[in-house]
Structure 1
Amino acid sequence: MIKVSIFYRNGPGKTFDWDYYLSKHIALVKKVYGKALKGVTIDKGLSGRSSAEGPIYLAICHLYFDAVAAYQDPLKENGKKFAEDFPKYTNIAPEVQISEVIQ
């Protein structure tokens, strides 16, 4: 199984619309990937190492697939949809990491 993690880094002037993200963007992700998407978890950053610091990431989304191709192939046709949707909920350029889930 692979995990695709999408990180939204915090910083001065960074914004993130949780309502839109959860109700619209994640619905788009589920529609595009359908049954190939095995699971989704979403983390909302609260703080850094100490509760006095802001979070390093405002949000992190983890998408689970059986194979890398199950994630990448639909992007070829639908990547533009995602790119057009980003500005509707954030001004943060997402960082993506693909990982193998080993445990």
Structure 2
Amino acid sequence: MVIFSVLYAAADGAHFDHDYYNATHIPLVHEAFASTGLTGVQVFKGLSAGDGGPAPFIAMAHLAFRDAAALQASMGGPRAAEVLADVAKFTNLQPIAQVSALV
């Protein structure tokens, strides 16, 4: 299994529409990438830092793919541009992405 994490760092002037993200963007991600190997998505809303201060991230999504080939097929597939273009509809932030594997 390979995890593609998308993190939205808190910043001055940041806009993030959690309702749109959960009701529209995440279902689009499921629809676009399920056929190429997406097996699940977990979404988290930042509440606070570990010390109780402001959350360093507004939101995080962790997309699970069957394997690295499935991730490549999804990100290089015909619906990837549609998913990426949708980001501007819910945030003005540039997301941080990371690929990880369970150990």
Is the TM value for this pair above 0.5?
yes
Unaligned runs of 5+ in 1: none
Query: 5+ residue gaps in structure 2?
Result: none
Aligned counterpart, 2:99: 98
Q: Which residue in 2 is equivalent to 1:65?
A: 65
Could you tell me which amino acid in structure 2 is paired with residue 92 of structure 1?
Answer: L
TM superposition shift of 1:74: 2.4
The root-mean-square deviation of aligned C-alpha atoms, in Å, is: 1.2
Shift of 1:59: 0.5
Count of aligned residue pairs for this structure pair: 101
Instruction: Name the stretch that deviates more: 55-64 or 34-43.
Output: 34-43
Letter in 2 for 1:2: V
Alpha-carbon separation, structure 1, partners of 2:74 and 2:40? 16
- 1:87 aligned onto 2:88: yes
Query: Matched residues in 2 for 1:38 and 1:83: separation?
Result: 19
Residues in 2 aligned to 1:72 and 1:17: alpha-carbon distance in whole angstroms? 28
Instruction: Tell me which residue corresponds to 1:47.
Output: 48
The amino acid that maps onto 2:82 is K
Normalising by structure 2, what TM-score? 0.90
- The answer to whether structure 1 residue 15 and structure 2 residue 11 are counterparts is no
Counterpart amino acid of residue 39 in structure 2: K
Cα distance in structure 1, aligned partners of 2:62 and 2:88: 20
3-state DSSP of counterpart to 2:79: helix
TM-superposed CA distance for 1:96, in Å, is: 0.6
